[in-house]
Structure 1
Amino acid sequence: MDVVGQSDIQDRPDIIARIFHIKVHAFITFLKEDKTFGEVDAYLYTIEFQKRGLPHCHTLLWVTSPFKIRDAEDVDKYITAELPDFASEPALYRMVTTCMLHGPCGLLNVRAPCMQDMKCTKHFPRPFVSSTTFDENGYVRYRRRQGSYHTLGNGITIDNGYVVPYNKCLCSRFDAHINVEYCGWNMMIKYLFKYISKGVDRVRFTLQRSEIDCATSSSTTSNAVNEIKEFLDGRYICPHEASWRILNFPIHERHPTVQVLAVHLEGMQTTIFKENARLDTIIDIPTFGVTTLTEWFRNNQADTRGVNLTYTDYPSIYRWDTTAKAWIHRAITTKRTNTTIGRLAYVHPTAGELFYLRILLSHQKGCRSFSDIKTVHGRTYSSFCDTCEVLGLTGDDREWLRAFDEAASWATAAELRSLF
Structure 2
Amino acid sequence: MHEYAQDAMTYVRNYGRPDLFITFTCNPKWPEITNLLLTGQTSSDRHEIIARVFIQKIKVLMDYIVKHKVFGIIRCWMYSVEWQKRGLPHAHILLWMLDTIRPDDIDSIISAENPDPKTDPELYSVVTTNMIHGPCGVHNPDSPCMENGNCTKRFPPLLVADTVSGIDGYPLYRRRSTDNNGKSIVMKVKGNNVIVDNRWIVPYCPLLSKTFSTHCNVEYCNSIKSIKYVCKYVNKGSDMAVFGIVEPNANDEVTQFQLGRYVSCNEAIWRLFSFPIHERHPTVVHLAVHLENGQRVYFTDANAAQRAEQPQATTLTNFFSTCESDPFAWTLLYSEMPRYYTFNAASKRFQRRKKGNVVTGFTDVYSTDVLGRIYTVHRHQDECFYLRLLLVNIRGPTSFDSLRTVDGVLSHSLRCKCFFASESNSYIVCDHHSRMSSIGPDPIVGQI
- Same fold by TM-score, threshold 0.5 exceeded? yes
Deviations 1:187-233 (A, max 9, x none): 33321112x2202222334546333x88xxxxxxxxxx9x8x75643
Count matched residues.
Answer: 305
Output the CA distance in 1 between the equivalents of 2:337 and 2:276.
Answer: 18
Contact 1:260 1:274 in 2 (8 A): no
Output the CA distance in 2 between the equivalents of 1:200 and 1:78.
Answer: 31
Output the CA distance in 2 between the equivalents of 1:167 and 1:15.
Answer: 26
Change in 2 beyond 3 A, CA 1:60/1:289: closer
* Aligned residue number for residue 190 of structure 1: 229
Contact 1:317 1:329 in 2 (8 A): no
Aligned with 1:123 (options 151, 154, 173): 154
* Aligned residue number for residue 65 of structure 2: 31
Output the CA distance in 2 between the equivalents of 1:315 and 1:6.
Answer: 71
Give the greater-gyration-radius structure (CA).
1
Aligned with 1:204 (options 225, 228, 242): 242
* Paired letter, 2:227: M
Aligned with 1:279 (options 336, 353, 367): 353
1:124 deviation in Å? Answer: 1.2
Output the CA distance in 2 between the equivalents of 1:32 and 1:159.
Answer: 33
1:31 deviation in Å? Answer: 0.9
Output the CA distance in 1 between the equivalents of 2:339 and 2:261.
Answer: 33
Contact 1:319 1:328 in 2 (8 A): no
* Aligned residue number for residue 195 of structure 2: 157
* Paired letter, 2:402: R
1:119 deviation in Å? Answer: 2.1
* Paired letter, 2:261: R
1:308 aligns with 2:412: yes
Aligned-CA RMSD value: 4.1
Contact 2:401 2:410 in 1 (8 A): no
Output the CA distance in 2 between the equivalents of 1:103 and 1:248.
Answer: 35
Greater alpha carbon shift after TM alignment, 184-193 vs 119-128: 184-193
Q: Calculate percent identity across the aligned residue pairs.
A: 32
* Aligned residue number for residue 238 of structure 1: 264
Output the CA distance in 1 between the equivalents of 2:164 and 2:47.
Answer: 42
* Aligned residue number for residue 55 of structure 2: 21
Output the CA distance in 1 between the equivalents of 2:71 and 2:420.
Answer: 38
Output the CA distance in 1 between the equivalents of 2:407 and 2:228.
Answer: 39
Whose RCO is larger (CA < 8 A, sep 6+)? 2
Greater alpha carbon shift after TM alignment, 182-191 vs 45-54: 182-191
Contact 1:13 1:243 in 2 (8 A): yes
Output the CA distance in 2 between the equivalents of 1:320 and 1:246.
Answer: 56
Output the CA distance in 2 between the equivalents of 1:245 and 1:62.
Answer: 28
1:298 aligns with 2:402: yes
What TM-score comes out, normalization by structure 1 length?
A: 0.62
User: 1:315 aligns to what SS in structure 2?
Assistant: helix
Output the CA distance in 1 between the equivalents of 2:187 and 2:432.
Answer: 71
* Aligned residue number for residue 106 of structure 1: 137
Output the CA distance in 2 between the equivalents of 1:275 and 1:7.
Answer: 54
1:83 aligns with 2:183: no
* Aligned residue number for residue 16 of structure 2: none
Output the CA distance in 1 between the equivalents of 2:268 and 2:82.
Answer: 12
* Aligned residue number for residue 175 of structure 1: 213
Contact 1:85 1:93 in 2 (8 A): yes
Contact 2:340 2:353 in 1 (8 A): no
Contact 1:207 1:231 in 2 (8 A): yes
Output the CA distance in 2 between the equivalents of 1:182 and 1:316.
Answer: 45
* Aligned residue number for residue 415 of structure 1: none
* Aligned residue number for residue 24 of structure 2: none
Output the CA distance in 2 between the equivalents of 1:29 and 1:169.
Answer: 14
What TM-score comes out, normalization by structure 2 length?
A: 0.58
* Paired letter, 1:149: S
Change in 2 beyond 3 A, CA 1:151/1:21: same
1:135 deviation in Å? Answer: 3.2
1:121 deviation in Å? Answer: 1.8
User: 2:196 aligns to what SS in structure 1?
Assistant: strand
Deviations 1:324-358 (A, max 9, x none): xxx9687799x997899xxxxxxxxxxxxxxxxxx
Alignment of 1:220-259 (within 5 A): 232-255=258-281, 258=282
Output the CA distance in 1 between the equivalents of 2:174 and 2:59.
Answer: 31
Output the CA distance in 2 between the equivalents of 1:73 and 1:159.
Answer: 24
Contact 1:316 1:339 in 2 (8 A): no
* Aligned residue number for residue 61 of structure 1: 95
